[in-house]
Amino acid sequence: MDVPRLVDYAKKTGGVKGFDGGEDIDPKLILVERCDVLIPAAIGGVLTRENANGVQAKFVVEAANHPTNPDADEILAKKGVVVLPDVYANAGGVTVSYFEWV
């Protein structure tokens, strides 16, 4: 994928939808794509009992606040997936947010 071209496209259009240098993917399938490291970084609660069995990553780095619910945590542990919890992976962002609040 031509990343600089994608960045230019996103700046011009406000998003990546319609970019002809890649393929569309069903948003429900993105978390179960084959990869080494999965980094859920946008919203919480995206890894659930319903999709955790499909996760193919070796590592999950929780960059969002609580992206993995307890059922998914248990499933991932049984599969041998290493999960770096948000309290470690996202601690800097939370700390800065605290300083913004005060």
What totals of helices (H) and strands (E) does the chain contain, helices first? 5, 3
CB 13, CB 23: distance < 8 Å:
no
pLDDT at site 95: 79
Ordered by where they begin, the domains of the chain are 23-101 (3.40.50.720)
pLDDT at site 74: 97
Structure tokens at 40: 């859920």
Rounded Cα gap, residues 17 and 47, in angstroms = 24
pLDDT at site 15: 93
pLDDT profile of the chain (102 residues), mean per 10: 93 93 86 96 94 98 94 97 92 79 84
- The predicted model scores a pTM of 0.77
